Chain A
Amino acid sequence: MRRALPIFVVLAGLLVAIAVVNPYFLEPTAFLAFVKRAAPLVILAAGQYFVIVSGEFDLSVGSLVTAEVVIAARLIDGSAEATWPVLALMIAFGLIVGLVNGAVTTLLRVPSFITTLGMLLILSGAVFLWTGGSPRGALSEQFRQLGRGSLGPVPWSVLILVAVAAAAVWATRARFGHTLVAAGDNDRAAALSGVRVARVRTVAFMISGLSAAVAAILLGGFAGVSAQVGKGLEFQAITAVVLGGVVLGGGRGSVAAAMAGAFTLEALFTLLNLYGISGALEPAVQGVIIIAAVALGAVRFPRARAAAAS
């Protein structure tokens, strides 16, 4: 938790800065709108956290989001009855993609960077091969409600986000979470303590795939079918996780901080927009902030080796 503290301070600072420029931001509707907008990235970051903390990468989530939305649109094709079965199918598909990523990485020993890069290519190619180049069909109203509608004043996506966040925090506190972090910190020690390293890592990839499926449901619901809905999300999710102080290479960082990292990224985008920093400078500012955040993290927590070196 100590490591996680800075990101919450930064996030709070950004939120205050936004509120100063736009006081309306603190009103419940506006704030909920912000949370709703951030929800897909936060969920992706939560999923990516599990993969990163176990010492791996998942570059395939962006194209998985696109694939999920395109598949849903084609299968639902506007039909209300098809909605729920297709939602279930999307979840299953996310899990299966994660399972394949995990199995190839752990059993075939392909570096996860390459496994998931290959999966990125395969998914983005295969889904459009199937639909003939561009999305077909349409999402049903029921489907769209999850990303668009709300329960009373609270958007569904915010509720889903809360549920996902609670589940993610629970998972890290559960036996699974601890063994996963152990595998990321020192996989040999973990294996010699009875941790099924390959299995927990594979489950981490499946969680990441699941989070991509949920993010796809929210994004597809929010804005409808699009061929580029997931574009660039993998880098944003990894950035968010790292911003939250989670160390690439595994073993360190908390899922709450990773999600805070995603909120911070969204808050940063909002703030840049408010200050009228145009699209052009946005990436530059983002780049500097990411490097600075990680560099500061490295300075605060030097990679000191254990004390008992004699």
Chain B
Amino acid sequence: MLSYSRRFLAAAALAVLTLPVAACTSDKPAPSASGAPSGAPAGSAGPADKGTGEQSKFFVQADYDAQMAMRKAQPTGPSDKPWEQSIDPQLIDTAKYKKAGPYHLCFSNAAVDNPWRQVGWKTMQAEVAQHKEITKFTALDAEGKDDKQISDIAELTGKGCDALIVSPNTTATLTPAVSGACPKVPVIVFDRGVQTDCPVTFIKPIGGYAFGAAAAEFLVDKVPAGGKILALRILPGVDVLETRWSAAKVAFDKSDLQVVGVEFTDGDAAKTKSVVSDYIQRYGKLDGVWMDAGATAVAAVEAFEDAGQPVPPINGEDQQDFLKKWSDAKLTAIAPTYPTYQWRTPVIAALKILKGEQVPKVWNLPQPAITQENLATYLKPGMPPLHYALCGCEDLPGYPEKWGGTS
């Protein structure tokens, strides 16, 4: 064992010696990208008190308007491959990134700590596997740690990648790391964005406002005037979830519905069920349930069943357990989605960029909602309960076993 003190002295001596000689290097990029605007102030307060509380400070009117417009727009691209479609693409030239294959793709993943990311990650791996020109795919999992992802990105930029895909863990805090990678390698960001436009393309579905609005509008449509709505949210302060709620709030504020409660469930099924039971107990009955994510939708439905009440209109997400419940119990429901097929797109985009083909600067993917009409197409018996129907993975090799299903 070398004593620590000796090691330290040596290190210190080395540092002192090299300090004046070696130019002080920094792994941080020159252009400042931090100090971003911390979200525009809240939008208009509701006309009347609908029980929805203050508008989220994450609400940005312009983004909201843009997403509402995109919901109505027609995407371009092959309609049987929504992951290759885009809405209002502003194509940019990528000739300067053109190089001959084979390619080495790298991917800095925020985490694989929830079923949505699991399904997406498997989908991405399968997508990579079907491209022969990708001979190497290096992926690092940041395990939900911002600091690790910053290091991971730095490490990946030094591994000779031809393109770097990033799924940021958080928006603001990953910005410097992404800015640092941009000059060295073409960067593709998806899911969450970063506060810099240096990536070649940013891939995302329409967004959280569209999700929240679709669910809220469905309830406004199905629930009679004056109906009592319970809104269930996972956590406060998560950007992608805040936008969902803020759009729902806009819709509810304009409606005749009464939001009797906005509760946080931590994404815990047991807590969701308890919260819904409490509300049923307190109000006798609820007329609709809005949820910002589908993971605990089944638990909410069960709360009504256990109370011996009919299940009111409700929204979930495209997870199999909810779709199955919906079908079996003949619910009045909708499932807006945040499609996992977006995990295919970055790989496709990377190859396009490396081949010099144009890509959209912001690649808006369509974000369909599952309705009563198309429920049957998305209900896939044999897939695990937490599988996401919009994985776009049915045509990929290894389906369904690789996703945990049985054919």
A131 and B119 CA atoms in complex are apart in Å by 12
Chain A: residues with Cβ within 8 Å of the partner, total of 30
Known: A134-B114, A135-B384, A136-B404. 15 other contacts (CB 8 A): A132-B404, A133-B115, A134-B386, A135-B385, A222-B273, A223-B269, A223-B302, A224-B269, A224-B298, A224-B321, A225-B385, A227-B114, A227-B115, A231-B268, A279-B236
User: Smallest Cβ distance from A285 to chain B, in angstroms?
Assistant: 16
Interchain residue pairs A-B with the least CB separation, the first 7: A223-B269, A134-B115, A133-B118, A223-B270, A136-B384, A134-B118, A136-B404
**Dominant SS among interface residues on chain B:** helix
- Hey, which chain B residues are within 8 Å of A136, CB to CB? 384-385, 404
A224 and B268 CA atoms in complex are apart in Å by 10
Interface status of A24 (Cβ within 8 A of chain B): yes
- Hey, which chain A residues are within 8 Å of B119, CB to CB? 134
User: Smallest Cβ distance from A186 to chain B, in angstroms?
Assistant: 38
A residues 257-283 near B (Cβ < 8 Å) are 273, 278-280
User: Smallest Cβ distance from A143 to chain B, in angstroms?
Assistant: 13
Binary per-residue interface labels of chain B (255-283) against chain A in the complex, 1 for a CB within 8 Å, 0 otherwise: 00000000010111110111001100110
A226 and B299 CA atoms in complex are apart in Å by 10
Q: Which of B112, B269, B277 contacts A226 (CB 8 A)?
A: B269
Cβ-defined contact, A133 with B112, below 8 A: yes
User: Smallest Cβ distance from A276 to chain B, in angstroms?
Assistant: 10
Cβ-defined contact, A223 with B273, below 8 A: yes
Name the residue in B268, B299, B302, B384 with the highest tally of chain A Cβ atoms < 10 Å from its Cβ: B384
Interface status of B373 (Cβ within 8 A of chain A): no
Minimal Cβ-Cβ distance residue in B for A144? B302
Binary per-residue interface labels of chain B (346-369) against chain A in the complex, 1 for a CB within 8 Å, 0 otherwise: 000000000000000000000000
Chain A positions near chain B (C-beta within 8 angstroms): 22, 24, 30, 33, 37, 40, 73, 131-138, 148, 219, 222-229, 231, 273, 278-280
Minimal Cβ-Cβ distance residue in A for B383? A136
A148 and B308 CA atoms in complex are apart in Å by 12
Interface status of B27 (Cβ within 8 A of chain A): no
A138 and B387 CA atoms in complex are apart in Å by 12
A132 and B387 CA atoms in complex are apart in Å by 12
Whether A222 touches B114, Cβ cut-off 8 Å, given contacts A24-B281, A137-B385, is no
- Hey, which chain A residues are within 8 Å of B122, CB to CB? 132-133
Cβ-defined contact, A279 with B264, below 8 A: yes
Interface status of B306 (Cβ within 8 A of chain A): yes
Chain B: residues with Cβ within 8 Å of the partner, total of 32
Binary per-residue interface labels of chain B (299-339) against chain A in the complex, 1 for a CB within 8 Å, 0 otherwise: 10010001000000000000001000000000000000000
- Hey, which chain A residues are within 8 Å of B269, CB to CB? 223-224, 226, 229
A24 and B284 CA atoms in complex are apart in Å by 12
User: Smallest Cβ distance from B13 to chain A, in angstroms?
Assistant: 37
Cβ-defined contact, A229 with B384, below 8 A: no
Minimal Cβ-Cβ distance residue in A for B112? A133
Name the residue in A134, A228, A278 with the highest tally of chain B Cβ atoms < 10 Å from its Cβ: A134
Cβ-defined contact, A148 with B306, below 8 A: yes
Name the residue in A30, A37, A224, A279 with the highest tally of chain B Cβ atoms < 10 Å from its Cβ: A224
Cβ-defined contact, B404 with A224, below 8 A: no
Minimal Cβ-Cβ distance residue in B for A274? B278
A28 and B75 CA atoms in complex are apart in Å by 56
Name the residue in B114, B266, B281 with the highest tally of chain A Cβ atoms < 10 Å from its Cβ: B281
Binary per-residue interface labels of chain B (368-407) against chain A in the complex, 1 for a CB within 8 Å, 0 otherwise: 0000000000000000111000000000000000001000
User: Smallest Cβ distance from A224 to chain B, in angstroms?
Assistant: 6
Q: Which of B114, B281, B386 contacts A30 (CB 8 A)?
A: B281
Binary per-residue interface labels of chain B (116-151) against chain A in the complex, 1 for a CB within 8 Å, 0 otherwise: 001101100000000000000000000000000000
Minimal Cβ-Cβ distance residue in B for A266? B274
- Hey, which chain A residues are within 8 Å of B386, CB to CB? 134-135, 225, 227
Cβ-defined contact, A219 with B384, below 8 A: no
- Hey, which chain A residues are within 8 Å of B306, CB to CB? 148
A184 and B43 CA atoms in complex are apart in Å by 60
User: Smallest Cβ distance from B338 to chain A, in angstroms?
Assistant: 16
Q: Which of A30, A219, A228 contacts B267 (CB 8 A)?
A: A228
Cβ-defined contact, B270 with A229, below 8 A: yes
User: Smallest Cβ distance from A191 to chain B, in angstroms?
Assistant: 37
User: Smallest Cβ distance from A43 to chain B, in angstroms?
Assistant: 14
Minimal Cβ-Cβ distance residue in A for B305? A148
Whether A224 touches B115, Cβ cut-off 8 Å, given contacts A134-B386, A135-B386, A279-B236, is no
- Hey, which chain B residues are within 8 Å of A222, CB to CB? 270, 273
- Hey, which chain B residues are within 8 Å of A33, CB to CB? 277, 281
- Jot down 5 A-B pairs with beta carbons below 8 A, ordered by A: A132-B122, A134-B384, A137-B384, A226-B296, A227-B386
A112 and B189 CA atoms in complex are apart in Å by 44
A133 and B112 CA atoms in complex are apart in Å by 8
Minimal Cβ-Cβ distance residue in A for B268? A228
- Hey, which chain B residues are within 8 Å of A231, CB to CB? 268
Cβ-defined contact, B281 with A224, below 8 A: no
A224 and B303 CA atoms in complex are apart in Å by 12
User: Smallest Cβ distance from B380 to chain A, in angstroms?
Assistant: 14
User: Smallest Cβ distance from A18 to chain B, in angstroms?
Assistant: 12
A30 and B307 CA atoms in complex are apart in Å by 11
Cβ-defined contact, A224 with B299, below 8 A: yes
A219 and B269 CA atoms in complex are apart in Å by 9
Minimal Cβ-Cβ distance residue in B for A279? B264
- Hey, which chain B residues are within 8 Å of A37, CB to CB? 270, 274
Q: Which of B118, B236, B302 contacts A148 (CB 8 A)?
A: B302
